[in-house]
Amino acid sequence: MEEVVYYNCEGFGDDKNSAQVNGIATSIHSQSHNLAFRQSSSYPHGSAITGTNPGDRVFVASKGKALISVYTWGKESPDQRIPVPEQLTALTLCPNSQELYTENFESEDESNIPKFRLPYLLIGGGVSGMIYTWELNSGLLLSVKEAHYQSISALKTTNDGSFLVSAGKDARILIWKITDLVSFVKDDDRVIKPVHVISDNTLEITDIFINNSIYQDTKLYTVSRDCTIRIYDIVKFQLLSTFIIGQQIESIVVDSADRAIYIGLSNGNIRQINIYEPNPATNILEARGGFGKVVTLSEDHQLTNTLTHHSPNAVTSLALSLDGSLIISGDSIGKVTVADVVSKQVVKELKELGSKITNIQVINFYKSNQIVEKTQKAIPQFKRIISNKNPKEQEVVYQIGEDDEKKLFDIDAHLDRVAQEALQFENLTTINSEVVMTDAYDGSSSEKVQELEGKVTKATKAYTDLRKMYEDLYSEHTKLLENQ
């Protein structure tokens, strides 16, 4: 398995023919896997990936155009350019249930895996503040919601597909139930509203992050240009902690074990905020913040928890490797680097794109020699009006994998396996493996045994004499005590 990083930029204004490469996918640890995506410029958080297996797709909301470009993983040019009602500034995917869709297919026999598989929903945020929800397997527009007063800056869904979090330039964060967005409601009087509205910030929300945890421990991390990092409990809709720093924040990523927060600043620094720190008195790890506490971060003059290799260019996007040991960062001039979080040293520089990096995502890649099919089934065209509310009239396109025709008992395979096991016990070399038994008690050995027996006898006699002497002395001591 490899770790592949996908990143793209906002593009160039003079690229009229859209011929330049705006997106790249490459391995973090080697150069064995390197893909290019043309015409893939987007706003920040304006792209989404379903996976890296054959048949997986990359969705990019084209900057400056009311289009979504759809790429098959491994292809350089888009397969489809789907028109949408307006320019989209953010995209996110909502997965199917675990039985229908899994992110990574890893098995010895992949013949029964469908080549055309898609997540359940594609959700986009527009420049007008609208949220659009499409069902990918049918192309139907399920809902359009007036969410924010200004354009949407980021969209995220929880891993179980329960909640959608939207952040906008109007400094608000809205939490929606996805079941409300896709429900077929015949009552026209019912108005679908967010389950919670967060208005704690005073300036634009630049990035949000949802941790990869169980439902009861799901946390939302937000950063804003008002120099604050806020942590919320999504289930209880409660503010847990607030961190204040002296620079505007552009991006955020959190360690998968919730050990540290990494934020990209407008001055080009990446600041590490440890969520747990040892108590100076007891040397026991204690959580920082919690219960609505406000923590003001001091300047890191010793650069103990700061990476400065992007300075003075703003760090616009961040991602972590799967084990949290490497941080991948992109800045406002298109530079992308991989750095070690412990030593704070750059270990690798990726290909520059020449303009602001808008998206970075690290994903698993299981095969290095995948064959990209020339023809792929097209995704249904997205509707631009809300679909009929009758679910019986929907047509869903879904490919079913080939039947797995495994025999209950394959006699040929069993005989081959037995033959391979038998080879383990056969001697196929010229080495003589015969075991020769010899008498271990020859003449010299007998003399050594007698010598050892004599030593044991002397030691036993000396021990016996010493024990008798000790017992006599003890008896004499006892008598003296009795006479007193």
DSSP-assigned letter for residue 65? S
User: How many CA atoms lie within 13 Å of 352's alpha carbon, on the beta-carbon side?
Assistant: 9
Q: How far apart are the first and last CA of the chain?
A: 86
pLDDT at 81: 93
Residues shown for the chain? 484
In degrees, rounded to 5, the angle at the alpha carbon of residue 254 between the alpha carbons of residues 249 and 255 is 145
pLDDT, average across residues 105-119:
60
Nearest to 327 by CA among 266, 267, 263, 275: 263
pTM over 0.75? The answer is yes
More confident residue, 380 or 166: 166
Nearest to 210 by CA among 219, 222, 197: 219
User: How many CA atoms lie within 13 Å of 280's alpha carbon, on the beta-carbon side?
Assistant: 0
Binned at pLDDT 50, 70 and 90, residue 338 comes out as very high
Cα gap 479→484, rounded to integer Å: 9
Binned at pLDDT 50, 70 and 90, residue 367 comes out as low
* Amino acid, res. 211: N
Environment class of 69 (CB within 10 Å of its CB; exposed 0-12, middle 13-18, buried 19+): buried
Which H/E stretch holds residue 317? Answer: strand 315-320
More confident residue, 283 or 243: 243
* 113 pLDDT more than 80: no
Average pLDDT across the chain, whole number: 84
**Which of 7-16, 134-143, 323-332, 439-448 reaches the highest mean pLDDT?**
323-332
* 361 pLDDT more than 90: yes
pLDDT at 483: 79
> CB under 8 Å to 440, separation ≥6 — which residues?
none
**Is omega for the bond preceding 85 within 30 degrees of 0, making it cis?**
no
Cα gap 450→61, rounded to integer Å: 92
pLDDT, average across residues 438-444:
54
pLDDT at 118: 83
pLDDT at 257: 86
Binned at pLDDT 50, 70 and 90, residue 366 comes out as low
What is the tens place of the pLDDT at every residue in 155-209? 999 988 889 999 999 999 999 999 888 886 655 556 789 999 999 999 999 999 9
Domains of the chain listed by start with CATH number = 2-365 (2.130.10.10), 411-482 (no CATH)
Provide the β-strand partners of residue 441.
Answer: none
SS3 state at 443: helix
> CB under 8 Å to 339, separation ≥6 — which residues?
270, 307, 309, 326, 327, 329, 345, 346, 347
Please answer whether residues 126 and 89 qualify as being in contact, where contact means their C-beta atoms are separated by less than 8 angstroms: yes
How many other CB atoms are there within 10 angstroms of residue 364's CB atom?
A: 15
Binned at pLDDT 50, 70 and 90, residue 473 comes out as confident
